[in-house]
Amino acid sequence: MMKTAWVFPGQGSQVLGMGVDLLTIDSAKATFDRASVILGWSVLDVCQNDEVKLANTRYTQPSLYVIESILVDLLRQRGLKPDIVAGHSLGEYVALYAAGVFDFETGLELVKRRAELMDLASQGGMTALLGFDREQLEAAIADTEDVVIANDNSTAQVVISGTAAGIAAVVAKIKVKRAIPLNVSGAFHSPMMATAAAEFGKLLAPIDFHDAKIPVLSNVAPIPTTDARKLKAQLDSQITGAVRWREISLQLPELGIERAIEVGPGKVLGGLIKRTCESISVAQVSGISDLESIG
């Protein structure tokens, strides 16, 4: 049987209408109802009717977690199981749920608080860079204060995070095909998120993690592990740490993975994996029609 990775997208992959088709499945409807009790608002209402709210971190992250977790449950009901899991930023919480590290409710409580803390961040920003020389970029960042690589997505795409002045200085020092400022409230995945990370750490500390049933590739340490203590420590450092997705992609063929299934809206992760590792086939599960065709 083909060795398969399940990968879970994060903030930025949301789209109005996502998850609505799942309402026809009783178990999915029950999960949406459980989520409403925890969140105090309806994921379905936001995803169906409010594009402005859906773009807001407080609503984006829990909505993605709930919908992707439902898709995990539905894949399991069809007897499917991955050989390894990974998620991009917020998506790592779904990966941990899929691996049995914590239950749905625990994950959602964590995501809810994470989203609130990140939404309160008001310092700095993020800019996506496409088409650049990596050595030149790394040299510019090393020579510039208050800016880091936040998302190392592929050889041709990164996101830098930091102060407005730091980001502008880096962009001015390098040749880049496109520099796209992101609509976020702060400098996510950078040291500027230290206050939010400290508050989140207080919530995370007493929560029990279980050893994973499936190896997980974490954002900050893309080496497969099932160890609960390591997974918890890695998640604890994720808000300030970089998303090392390029390294995660490169790990997949080394681990014998032949196919990656992106579980959630959009095709961003599948595209990044395919551009990094041409030998790996990619597929998507974002709704009922995809569930019927996957196997």
CA distance 238 to 243: 8
Question: What pTM was estimated for this model as a whole?
Answer: 0.96
pLDDT in tens, 90-101: 999 999 999 999
- The predicted structure's pLDDT at residue 263: 98
Interatomic CA distance for residues 54 and 50, integer angstroms: 6
Contact between residue 280 and residue 273 where contact means Cβ atoms under 8 Å apart:
yes
pLDDT in tens, 150-206: 999 999 999 999 999 999 999 999 999 999 999 888 899 999 999 999 999 999 999
User: Is the Cβ–Cβ distance between 285 and 262 less than 8 Å?
Assistant: yes
Tokens of 107: 């994950």
Whether the pLDDT of residue 48 is over 90: the answer is yes
4-121+190-293 belongs to CATH 3.30.465.10 = no
The residues near 150 (Cβ < 8 Å, ≥ 6 apart) are 126, 158, 159, 160, 161, 187, 188, 189, 190, 242, 243
pLDDT at 55 over 70: yes
pLDDT (tens digit per residue) in 101-150? 999 999 999 999 999 999 998 789 999 999 999 999 999 999 999 999 99
Neighbours of 208 (CB within 10 A): 9
Q: What fold characterizes domain 125-181?
A: Alpha-Beta Plaits (3.30.70)
Judged by DSSP in three states, 233 sits in helix
Q: How far is 27 from 295, CA to CA, in rounded Å?
A: 20
Residue 150: φ, ψ to 5°: -90, -45
Convert the pLDDT of each residue in 219-271 to its tens digit. Answer: 999 999 999 999 999 999 999 999 999 999 999 999 999 999 999 998 999 99
CA 236 to chain centre: 14
Residues in a beta bridge with 283: 261
Find where tokens 């990619």 sit. Answer: 282
Residue 292 has pLDDT above 90, yes or no: no
* Cα 147 → chain centroid: 21
Catalytic residues: 89, 189
Q: Which strand ranges, in their side-by-side order, compose the sheet holding 259-263?
A: 216-217, 84-87, 4-8, 259-263, 281-285
For the cut 80, the answer to whether the pLDDT of residue 1 exceeds it is no
Looking at residue 122, what is its pLDDT? Answer: 76
In terms of Cβ atoms closer than 10 Å to its own Cβ (0-12, 13-18, 19+), residue 177 is exposed
Residue ranges, comma separated, of all CATH 3.30.70.250 domains in the chain are 125-181
Domain with CATH 3.40.366.10 in the chain: 4-121+190-293
Residue 293 confidence (pLDDT): 83
Predicted pLDDT at 295: 64
| Residue 204 φ/ψ region, left for φ over 0, alpha for ψ in the -120 to 50 degree band, beta for the rest | alpha
CA-CA distances (angstroms) from residue 99 to 73, 232, 246? 11, 13, 21
pLDDT in tens, 13-27: 999 999 999 999 999
| Ramachandran assignment for 256, one of left (phi > 0), alpha (psi -120 to 50 degrees), beta (any other) | left
How far lies 27's CA from each of 22, 45, 61, 95, 290, in Å?
9, 18, 21, 20, 17
